[in-house]
C-alpha cells in the first residue's frame, strides 16, 4: 500500500510536466540528394521556459494539437489553479499524454473495424502488455515524447518479445539485426538484446527521436521506422521535385507502410474510447510491474525463477533476451523480476544451500568439427548437444564457436566476460565425404598422407586403425574419406572458323 501511495504522488508530479504537442514541420531536401535534411526539427524533450502555459485555442489535452502560449504573469492573480486528480490507471495516464496529430482517413476506420471485430484479440494483446507498458510510458514521459508511442508494440509484435518476422526482425519493437547493432543491442550466442525489455525500449525510443529529428513530423518518423529512413527521404525528395505535397498521406509507399500509422491511430482511438469499439481493456495499475535485480554469479534460468518464486514462463517473459538455460553474470548482470518478488529472490539466494548455481558453462570449439564429434568430446549425446545450442541438421561447427556444455562439479569459475559478451556460434554447411582407397608409395606415412590430401593426421590414423607414427609399405591400401571435388568443364579450343570470325570482328 505504501508503494501504491508513493506512485500516486509520483503520478501527480508527472502530470505537471506531461508531453506537449510539438508542431509538425516538413523537412526540406536539397540537391545533395534524398535524406539530407536542411530544415531542423523541433527539439524533443525541450520544455518551454515559461512554467505557466495555456492553450490558445481551447483544445483539450486528449489528442489536441493546439499551440501553447505563455500567460502574462499579471493574469495569474485572477486565475485559480485547477486541481488535477492522479490517473485512474495506466490507460488514463496514456490518454493524458496523447500529443501526436490525429489521422482521420478511410484506412483508420478500416483498421478500427478490424480490431473492433476481434475483441478477444485486443484483450489478449493488452493483457500481454501489462508487464511492459508502465516502463515504456515512464521512458516516454522522461523524454517528453507522445505517450501514444507506447502503443506501437501492439502494431509491431502484439507485445510479444519473442516475435520474429519473416525478415528476421525480432522483439516487441521488431529490430532488424543490423539496426539493432547500430543502436548497441548485443546479439550473440547467449542473448539477443533486441528482445530485452529495457535495452530494446531504449533503442526504439532513441531511433524514433532520431527519425523525428530528421523529418520533423511524427507520422513521417513512424513511416521511416517501418519502411526505412532512406526510403522515406527519397519519396519526399521525389514529391518535392514534382512540386507535390510531402506529408505522410501524400507519399507513394508500400501498403504495409501506408497502413502503419492508421493501425496505430486505430489502437489509439480504441484505448481512448474502448466502449465505443466493443472492446475491454484489462486493468493496468499506474505503478511499476518489475524492478531490476543484480546477478553476481552464473545461475540457471530455472533456478533463478524458483528462487524468485516466479513461474518459469513469467520469468522468461520479463527476461526474453536470454536464449539459453543459464544466465551468465558477466554478460547479463541484471534480470527483471516482478516488483514484489525481487526481495524474495535476494532472500532465497542468500540462504540457498543447494550447491552450485549454474550447471552449464561455455566450451570453445578448437577446430571445425561435426556436432556428433563435438558432443562426444564434451560428454553429451548429439541430440542434447544440438538442442541446447540450437544447432540445425546438416551443418558443421566452425572453429572458435562458443557452445554451452555441462559444468563439472570441480569447475568453480564463471564464464569470462569476453566469451559471455561476444561468444558466437558459427556454422557451415556439412559436406558429405566419400570413402576412397588410395595406394601408398615408398615413404608414405600417416602425416605425409594427411598433408597430401589436406586432412587431419589423427583422422587418417582413425580411418585406418593405425598409430600416428605408422609408415605404409608401397602398395598398401589406405582408406580415406575425401570431399568430392567439383570438376569444371574443360574449355574447348575454338575452331578455325570461330577464330577467323573473331579476327574479322576486330
Q: Is 500 helix (H, G, I), strand (E, B) or coil?
A: helix
CA atoms of 53 and 71, how far apart (whole Å): 6
How far, in whole angstroms, is CA 327 from its chain's centroid? 18
Q: Under a CB-based contact definition with an 8 Å cutoff, are residues 244 and 250 in contact?
A: yes
d(Cα 252, Cα 249) in Å, to the nearest integer?
8
Integer Rg of the chain from CA: 31
Three-state SS string over 290-306 comes to EEEEECCCCEEHHHHHH
Residue 456 φ/ψ, nearest 5 degrees: -80, 140
Question: Contact 272/95 with Cβ under 8 angstroms?
Answer: yes
Q: Answer yes or no: 156 catalytic.
A: yes
β-strand partners of 291: 337
DSSP 62-95: TT--PPEEEPPGGGGGG-PPPP-PPPSSHHHHHH
C-alpha span between 436 and 479 (Å, rounded): 6
Residue 193 Cα distances to 13, 142, 197, angstroms: 32, 22, 8
* Cβ–Cβ under 8 Å, residues 398 and 425: no
Instruction: Annotate 131-185 with three-state secondary structure.
Output: HCHHHHHHHHHHCCCCHHHHHHHHHHHCCCCCCECCCCCECCCCECHHHHHHCCC
**What is d(CA 249, CA 59) in angstroms, rounded to the nearest whole number?**
24
Catalytic annotation, pick one of 156, 285, 309, 382: 156
| Active site residues per annotation | 156
Amino acid at each position: 500500500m505504501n508503494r501504491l501511495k508513493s506512485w500516486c504522488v509520483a503520478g501527480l508530479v508527472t502530470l505537471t510536466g506531461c508531453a506537449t504537442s510539438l508542431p509538425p514541420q516538413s523537412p526540406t531536401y536539397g540537391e545533395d540528394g534524398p535524406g539530407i535534411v536542411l530544415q531542423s526539427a523541433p527539439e524533443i524533450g525541450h520544455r518551454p521556459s515559461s512554467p505557466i502555459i495555456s492553450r490558445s485555442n481551447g483544445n483539450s489535452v486528449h489528442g489536441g494539437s493546439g499551440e501553447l502560449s505563455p500567460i502574462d504573469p499579471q493574469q495569474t492573480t485572477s486565475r485559480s489553479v485547477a486541481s488535477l486528480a492522479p490517473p485512474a490507471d495506466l490507460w488514463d495516464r496514456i490518454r493524458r499524454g496523447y500529443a501526436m496529430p490525429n489521422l482521420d482517413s478511410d484506412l483508420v476506420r478500416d483498421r478500427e473495424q478490424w480490431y473492433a471485430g476481434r475483441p478477444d484479440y485486443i484483450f489478449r494483446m493488452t493483457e500481454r502488455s501489462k508487464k511492459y507498458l508502465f516502463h515504456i510510458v515512464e521512458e516516454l514521459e522522461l523524454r517528453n515524447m507522445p505517450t501514444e508511442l507506447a502503443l506501437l508494440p501492439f502494431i509491431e509484435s502484439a507485445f510479444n518479445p519473442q516475435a520474429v518476422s519473416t525478415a528476421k526482425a525480432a522483439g516487441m519493437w521488431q529490430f532488424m539485426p543490423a539496426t539493432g547493432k547500430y543502436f548497441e543491442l548485443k546479439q550473440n550466442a547467449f542473448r539477443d538484446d533486441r528482445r530485452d525489455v529495457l535495452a530494446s525500449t531504449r533503442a526504439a525510443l532513441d531511433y524514433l527521436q532520431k527519425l523525428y529529428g530528421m523529418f520533423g513530423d511524427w507520422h513521417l518518423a513512424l513511416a521511416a521506422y517501418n519502411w526505412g529512413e532512406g526510403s522515406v527521404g527519397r519519396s519526399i525528395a521525389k514529391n518535392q521535385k514534382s512540386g507535390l505535397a510531402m506529408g505522410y498521406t501524400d507519399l507513394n509507399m508500400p501498403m504495409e507502410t501506408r497502413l502503419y500509422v492508421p493501425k496505430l491511430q486505430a489502437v489509439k482511438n480504441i484505448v481512448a474510447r474502448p466502449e465505443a469499439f466493443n472492446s475491454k481493456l484489462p486493468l493496468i495499475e499506474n505503478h511499476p510491474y518489475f524492478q531490476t535485480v543484480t546477478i553476481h554469479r552464473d545461475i540457471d534460468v530455472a533456478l533463478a525463477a524458483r528462487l524468485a518464486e516466479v513461474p518459469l514462463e513469467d520469468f522468461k517473459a520479463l527476461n526474453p533476451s536470454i536464449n539459453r538455460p543459464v544466465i551468465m553474470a558477466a554478460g547479463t548482470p541484471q534480470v527483471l523480476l516482478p516488483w514484489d518478488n525481487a526481495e524474495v529472490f535476494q532472500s532465497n539466494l542468500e540462504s540457498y544451500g543447494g550447491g552450485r548455481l549454474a550447471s552449464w558453462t561455455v566450451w570453445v570449439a578448437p577446430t571445425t568439427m561435426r556436432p556428433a564429434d563435438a558432443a562426444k568430446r564434451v560428454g553429451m549425446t548429439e541430440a542434447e548437444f544440438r538442442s541446447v545450442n540450437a544447432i540445425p541438421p546438416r551443418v558443421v561447427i566452425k572453429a572458435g564457436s562458443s557452445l554451452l556444455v555441462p559444468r563439472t562439479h570441480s569447475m568453480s569459475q564463471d564464464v569470462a566476460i569476453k566469451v559471455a559478451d561476444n561468444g558466437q556460434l558459427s556454422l557451415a554447411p556439412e559436406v558429405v565425404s566419400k570413402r576412397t582407397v588410395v595406394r601408398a608409395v615408398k615413404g608414405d606415412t600417416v602425416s605425409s598422407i594427411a598433408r597430401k590430401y589436406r586432412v587431419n593426421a589423427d583422422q587418417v590414423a582413425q580411418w585406418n586403425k593405425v598409430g600416428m607414427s605408422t609408415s605404409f609399405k608401397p602398395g598398401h591400401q589406405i582408406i580415406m574419406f575425401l570431399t568430392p571435388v567439383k570438376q569444371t568443364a574443360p574449355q574447348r579450343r575454338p575452331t578455325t572458323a570461330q577464330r577467323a570470325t573473331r579476327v574479322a570482328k576486330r
